[in-house]
């Protein structure tokens, strides 16, 4: 008869619950990850090289005269690589013996939140570098319909490829929604095609000039100002690349009478095209609640 331990079954069940909850939370709690382009490294691949071609210019022709000039493709490339990020959890034997499914779902949410927050902040850090760091908006400027419409017009003038998106702090988006409330209800048409509605519905708030506006609480204030950098961008402006989806390993720590569980993911975030978006600087200070 095979020898069974007091924690074997419980730990396996707990591990499965934590991993499932971690993946679910990570997928649904990171808005920026679901807005930018996504790539996956296959087994044995070190990097992905993404090509970009420039714009060509047509010329007027004369009947019977040969075309002598040749257009330049203007090919450039971006190399995408990954690095690891992880979370360590220690489960004691006593905890697993007193197994309660809710406890392990909570642990899964915590680790999922940690990983998704880390990835989300990494993408947010790219905002301020777009457009050569030249921001739309300004400190002490509130986010309203006129401002977001101007950001969308700037994107169209820049000939950035659709679809576009606008992301900012919840306080900035709240100002935008209050600004729209006095005009009408035509700004709530739903999430535009090209983005995963199930994973973004909790972050989407309003649509302006055909562009969805999302809120992200991980956007921080700039230094001592009350403003922060959101972004208006094409989906092709930035990207998320994944080599290893969130995965788990477990290791026995006998001295602690516990199991050590390590969650790891291998990912990277990059600018794909600096000209396909711009940081959007608007006030994100605390709003009146009374």
> How far apart are the C-alpha atoms of 108 and 261, rounded to whole Å?
11
- The pLDDT assigned to 12 comes to 65
pTM over 0.85, yes/no:
no
User: pLDDT tens digits, residue range 18-40?
Assistant: 777 777 776 677 889 889 998 88
pLDDT at 253: 87
pLDDT digits (tens, 9 = 90+) for 63-109: 878 887 877 776 777 788 888 988 888 888 887 777 666 777 787 78
**Domain membership flag for residue 168:** yes
| Residue 106 exposed, middle or buried by CB count within 10 Å (0-12, 13-18, 19+) | middle
HSE toward the beta carbon, residue 154, CA cutoff 13 A: 22
The radius of gyration of the chain from alpha carbons, rounded to an integer in Å, stands at 24
* Domain contains 1: no
Question: Which CATH number do you get for residue 18?
Answer: 3.90.1690
Whether 22 is in a domain gets the answer yes
Place of tokens 């909790």: 202
DSSP state letter for 221:
B
Answer whether residue 274 is part of any domain: yes
Q: Is residue 261 part of a domain?
A: yes
Domain containing 126 equals 8-51+75-283
In a domain, 41, yes or no: yes
- pLDDT of 1 reads 37
**Cα separation, 208 vs 184, whole angstroms:** 12
Whether residue 69 is contained in a domain is answered as: no
DSSP H helices, the chain, are: 8-28, 93-97, 101-127, 145-157, 170-181, 197-200
Overall number of domains in the chain: 1
Which residues are within 8 A (CB) of 177 and not within 5 positions of it... i.e. 6 or more apart? 205, 206
Taking 50 as the pLDDT cut, the residues of the chain under it are 1-8
| Residue 174 placed within a domain | yes
């Amino acid at each position: 008869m095979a020898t069974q331990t007091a924690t074997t079954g419980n730990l396996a069940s707990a591990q499965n619950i934590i991993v499932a909850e971690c993946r679910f939370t990570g997928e649904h709690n990171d808005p920026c990850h679901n807005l930018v382009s996504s790539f996956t490294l296959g087994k044995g691949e070190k990097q992905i090289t993404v090509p970009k071609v420039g714009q060509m210019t047509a010329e007027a022709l004369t009947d019977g005269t040969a075309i002598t000039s040749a257009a330049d493709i203007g090919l450039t490339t971006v190399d995408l690589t990954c690095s690891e990020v992880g979370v360590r959890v220690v489960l004691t034997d006593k905890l697993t013996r007193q197994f309660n499914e809710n406890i392990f779902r909570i642990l899964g949410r915590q680790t999922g939140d940690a990983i998704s927050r880390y990835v989300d902040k990494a993408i947010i850090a790219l905002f301020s570098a777009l457009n050569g760091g030249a921001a739309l908006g300004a400190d002490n400027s509130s986010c309203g319909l006129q401002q977001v419409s101007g950001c969308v017009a700037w994107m169209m003038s820049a000939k950035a490829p659709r679809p576009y998106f606008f992301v900012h702090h919840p306080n900035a988006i709240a100002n935008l929604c209050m600004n729209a409330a006095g005009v009408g209800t035509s700004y709530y048409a739903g999430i535009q095609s090209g983005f995963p509605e199930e994973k973004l519905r909790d972050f989407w708030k309003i649509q302006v000039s055909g562009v969805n506006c999302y809120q992200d609480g991980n956007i921080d204030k700039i230094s001592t100002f009350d403003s922060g950098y959101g972004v208006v961008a094409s989906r092709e402006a930035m990207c998320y690349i994944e080599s290893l989806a969130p995965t788990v390993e477990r290791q026995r720590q006998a001295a602690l009478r516990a199991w050590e569980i390590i969650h790891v993911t291998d990912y990277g975030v990059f600018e794909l095209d600096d000209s396909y978006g711009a940081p959007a600087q608007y006030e994100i200070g605390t709003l009146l609640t009374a």
